[in-house]
Amino acid sequence: MRHHNGSVEVVTGPMFSGKTEELIRRLRRARIARQKIQVFQPSIDTRFGQGKVTSHAGTAFEATPIDSATAIPELLEEGTTVVGIDEAQFFDAEIIEVVQQLADRGLRVIVAGLDTDFRAEPFGPIPALMAQAERVDKLHAICMVCGDAASRTQRLIDGRPAHYDDPIVVVGANELYEARCRRHHNVPRD
């Protein structure tokens, strides 16, 4: 089954909000509809191993690890109608053009990734993808301090908030990051 019109869907939010879980849910529904699916992930993300996207809840879907978004068109197989891309914030700006080209060719492209970094500032290509997408879903997690809705990712170093000048990309999970609400998100600048 082929789509007549291509589209871009972005699933975003902080860590632990269910972005990958939602990506996998949409991919499974496409598989039920007998659509041909290919999924890609940045090779930098090795938290759950290579060759599959895996949510923090443990659900997984097979994927191809790539170093650059420009590899996606080269690896695209005949008949593919749905392309999933997880952890898209780790790709450079090339992914924006690649995603648009795929959608222009009539493919459904589902992108998952963090919209903001630990500083609560726009993260990589995700904001531009959100602006160009037909559908954007911003998910929320639960603040690990107060239990309210969390829209931010807090990086912790030795149990304390990371400083503003610390590196943007540090791949990790529970031991380094927490979901936080605006009130409890803290990024010291001194």
pLDDT tens string for the chain (190 positions)? 455 689 999 999 999 999 999 999 999 999 999 999 999 999 876 565 667 777 766 677 788 999 999 999 999 999 999 999 999 999 999 999 999 999 999 999 999 999 999 999 999 999 999 999 999 999 999 999 999 999 999 999 888 999 999 888 766 544 588 999 999 999 999 7
Domains (range + CATH), the chain? 7-139 (3.40.50.300), 142-180 (3.30.60.20)
- The single residue of 9, 21, 22, 87 carrying the catalytic annotation is 87
The closest of 60, 81, 83 to 71, measured between CA atoms, is 83
pTM for the predicted model, two decimal places:
0.90
Strands 149-150 and 52-54: unpaired
Give catalytic status of residue 9 as yes or no: no
